[in-house]
Amino acid sequence: MHALALTVGELRETARAPELATLARRIDRSVDALEDLLDALLDISKLDAGAIAPENQAFPVQTLLERLADEMVSAAEAKGLRFRVVPTTLWTETDPTLLGRILLNLAANAVRYTREGGIVVGCRRRGVETEIVVADSGIGIAEGNRARIFREFYQAGNPEHDRAKGLGLGLAIVDRVARLLGHTISVRSQLGRGSAFGVRGPIVVLRAPSAAPSAAPEAGTELAGVRVLVVDDEPDVREALGGLLARWGCSVEVAGSGADALASDGVPPALVLCDLRLGEGESGFDVLERLKARWGERLQGVVVTADAAPELIVEARARGYPLLHKPVRPAKLRALVEQLLRERAAA
């Protein structure tokens, strides 16, 4: 799946003839569906295994709502729907990334099951709690189905199992993440009229706004000429990943092992993408440490793996290496590469 996703990403970059571009888009949609399924199952397995630890902090709810709008407006407009955020001054304290995942799943479901009208997201005060509400004018949920919508693969509005309507895992993830964070989820719905999902959390005292942050580097950093070393013992993955990076303008070198990587006589790379489990039991963590010892601590390293073991996530965090789980989406890979290069330039 990892090699396939990268190869399709390269195909999309090169397909110019209309019939090839259409075929590439169809393949890409199929790969996206598989990746969505694997990502969702991985999320559920990590939540069930207790591998995700919340990192709570106080923050204004409005920042989360604005980020949600940025991610969902295009999808809503593509269906002719309105997506609106009601401004709020309330603050809450929780893990913003995990709460954002809850809201993204709820908003994606709202867009998926709404044919006309729109989606409104806002936050209201409920005593000592905040309640963030995602409301839609969609198909609604029959009262008898509300107890089942948080089960894996259950879809009340998709009897034909149309994959365009999702996998039936979004609300299962919402339920698990909410329980992890200690939030409660409420559902109000009327069949044929729409639904409103509420997420309750604590209110914190409003804080004075901090100084405006310095301007962030512009997105879309140019990758032309950036030296990247790919270390992977699987030839298909090396070829696919190297080809995709080359299409983005990177100067790519590939190696099948730590020894091959260390044998390079060229200019030090700016970034190393290293598989975790190489041949003969070699660890990607160890390879990156040896490459840093040779080329210096400024070398940026990323570990790529299909392993979702909780202890691995903890070790990667402790060593300071970003972790990418296979199959890696090209867009996610590019965003991480650009982010790491901006951090390197700033340092």
pLDDT band at residue 215 under the 50/70/90 scheme: very low
Is a pLDDT exceeding 50 seen at residue 217?
no
List the structure tokens of 132.
């963030």
Confidence at residue 51, expressed as pLDDT on a 0 to 100 scale: 60
Q: What's the rounded mean pLDDT across residues 136-146? A: 79
The percent of residues in the chain predicted with pLDDT above 90, rounded, is 29
Domain locations along the chain = 1-51+220-347, 57-204
Mean pLDDT of the region 77-105: 91
71, 37, 159, 109 alpha-carbon torsion, rounded to 10°:
-20
pLDDT for position 17: 76
Of 163-172, 228-237, 301-310, which range is least confident?
A: 163-172
Query: Mean pLDDT, to the nearest integer, of 284-312?
Result: 87
Q: Does pLDDT of 148 surpass 90?
A: no
Of 32-36, 94-98, 314-318, the poorest mean pLDDT is in: 32-36
Please tell me the class of the 1-51+220-347 domain: alpha beta
Name which of 127-131, 222-226, 273-277 the model is least confident about.
222-226
pLDDT at position 7 is 80
- So what's the pLDDT on residue 210? 45
Which pLDDT band, with edges at 50, 70 and 90, does 140 fall under? confident
- Does pLDDT of 143 surpass 80? no
Give the pLDDT of residue 312.
Answer: 81
Average pLDDT over residues 142-168: 58
Question: pLDDT: is 336 or 218 the higher one?
Answer: 336
pLDDT of 216 higher than 60: no
The pLDDT score that the predictor gives to residue 44 is 64
Choose which CATH entry (3.40.50.2300, 3.40.50.300, 3.40.50.720, 3.30.565.10) describes domain 57-204. Answer: 3.30.565.10
Averaged pLDDT, 16-22: 77
Mean pLDDT over residues 69-74, rounded? 87
pLDDT tens digits, 220-273: 446 888 899 999 999 888 888 988 999 898 999 999 999 998 887 777 899 999
Q: Quick check: do 1-51+220-347 and 57-204 share a fold?
A: no
pLDDT reported for residue 155: 57
Tell me the pTM: 0.52
With a cut of 70, say whether residue 103 has pLDDT above it: yes
Bond from prior residue into 327 cis (ω within 30 degrees of 0): yes
Whether the pLDDT of residue 99 is over 70: the answer is yes
